Structure 1
Amino acid sequence: MPSAWQTARKLTPVDTTVADPLLGRLLDGRYRVESRIARGGMAAVYLALDVRLDRTVALKVMHPSLAEDPDFVRRFIGEAKSVASLSHPNVVHVFDQGADAGNVYLSMEYVPGRTMRDVLRERGRLPAREALEIMIPVLAALGAAHQTGMVHRDVKPENVLLSDDGRVKVADFGLARAIDAGNQTKTGVMIGTIAYMSPEQVTSGVADTRSDVYAAGVMLFELLTGQQPYLGESPMSVAYRHVHDRVPAPSTLVPGVPAALDALVLAATDRDPARRPTDATAMLVAAVETHRVMPHDSTPQRPLPGATSPSMPRGFGAPPANPTMVASRTEMLAAPEIAPPAPARRRGVRPVWFLAALAVVMVAAIAGTGWWFSEGRYTKVPELLGLNVALAKAQAEKQGFTVKIGPAEHDDKLAEDKVLRSDPEPGKEVLKDAVITLIPSSGPVKVPVPNVVNLSEGDARAKISEVGLTPGSVSRVPSDTVQRGLVMRTSPAVGTRLREGSKVQLVLSAGLLMPDVSEMQCDQADAFLRQKGFNPTVVQQTDQAQPNTIIAQVPAARAEVTAGQAVQLTCSKGPDTGFHWPWENPDNAQPGQALVPIPDVRFKKVTDAVSELRTAGFRVRVRKIAGTGAVVAENPLGQAPAGTRVTIWH
Structure 2
Amino acid sequence: MDTTTADPLVGRLLDGRYRIESRIARGGMATVYLALDVRLDRTVALKVMHRSLAEDPAFVRRFIGEAKSVASLSHPNVVHVFDQGTDTDVVYLSMEYVPGKTLRDTLRDRGRLPAREALEIMIPVLAALGAAHQAGMVHRDVKPENVLLTDDGRVKVVDFGLARAIEATNQTRTGVMIGTIGYMSPEQVMTGGADVRSDVYAAGIMLFELVTGQQPYDGETPMSVAYRHVHDTVPPPSSVVPEVPPLIDTLVTHATARSPDDRPADATAMLVAAVDAHRMLPRTTTPPAHTRTSGAHSMPYSAPSSRPGTAPLQMPQAAANHTLIQPREEVPARRAGFRPNWFLVALAVVMVVAVALTGWYFSQATYVPVPDLVGKDLAVAQKAATTSGFKVKTAPGENDEKIAEGLVLRTDPGRNVELERGAVLTLVPSLGPKRVLVPNVEGMTEPEARTAVAKAGLDVNRVSRLANQGVERGKVIRTSPEVGEKVKEGSKVNIYVSAGLVMPDVGGMPKDEAANYLQTQGFQVQVNEVDDDAEPCTVIAQTPKAKSEVDQGAQAMITVARCQTDFWDWFKGDNEARDDQEFQLVPSVVGKNVNDARNELQGLGFKVQVRKLTKDGVVRFQRPAGNSERPPGATVVLWQ
Could you state the TM-score of these two structures normalised by the residue count of structure 1? Answer: 0.45
Could you state the TM-score of these two structures normalised by the residue count of structure 2? Answer: 0.46
